[in-house]
Amino acid sequence: MSFYIGREASKLWKRICAETTTEINLLAENWKYLLAGIVFQYIHGLAARGVHYLHRPGPTLQDLGFILLPELGQEKAYISETLFTFIFLSFVLWTFHPFLFKSKKIYTVLIWCRVLCFLVVSQALRIVTFYATQLPGPNYHCREGSKLATLPRPDSIFEVLLINFPRGVIYGCGDLIFSSHMIFTLVFVLTYQKYGTRRCIKQLGWTLSVCQSLLIIASRKHYTVDVVVAWYTVNLVVFFVEKKLPELPDRTNAAATLLLPLSTKDNKDGRTKEENHKLLNGNSVVDPADWRQRTQANGKILEDGHTNHADTAMNGA
């Protein structure tokens, strides 16, 4: 028994080391995109902090969602945040699954490059909208009479730049249209919809997205319009931005996996840097005559249980 455990542990360690080497090489080529995406998260937080200074509390606007959904109250407002935290952490863990599991469908660095790209475009549109018009916040701490509804004039520029994380984010006001929580939720669900393999998880993801939308409204964190605008805006952003991005390489193709450069020395054996870039952009450098089974079609990874059907279709049977 101990021999079996030791052997499996050795295999797992080798798998982690090999995946780490691959991801480090991808990170060396794409770190600028990741850094830009992370920096923009700070800019987005800074913009949300800035609009809080402009927020003026007032009567809560008439809202259809507020009429239809009962108010959860301050004591149950944590339910919405708990669900969002679950969705966020679940997606993060999924993006790192290639380090542990044999079924490697994605590259962690490349998938996060795409996710951050979707987030940046969506958040840029969000900044424009909530600065264009400041609505009276429906959240409890944004209503008239609350000390947090309007921030006092800052004593220095550093007070603004530091954002007061995480309290400044949790108790922000004025950044309403459209919901930031729904941006992250929908980007994560849409990404798994394309690159995930479990149909049940995809269905669960969309169900949780609807639940998240209802809980945000019931918690009075956003108006219904904030959630509705997020649904169609994020979907359109992902649809159009994805057309401009190179497709992810097919990890289910063993030949492509072997051709991925593990170090800069790989270029010395005749494999040029141009070929490696083609591979990372989704253009296979495998011999065109090799038309073996592919479990990825039209840039989408087929769900479990459909690979046999793909093989039959490709062989003309």
- Cα–Cα dist 78/170, whole Å: 11
First to last CA, the chain: 45
Tokens coding 47: 């913009």
Cite the active site residues.
181, 222, 226
Give the count of alpha carbons within 13 A of 108, CB side only.
20
Dihedral (CA of 128, 131, 135, 139) sign: positive
Give the CA radius of gyration of the chain: 23
- Among 77, 230, 80, 224, CA closest to 141: 77
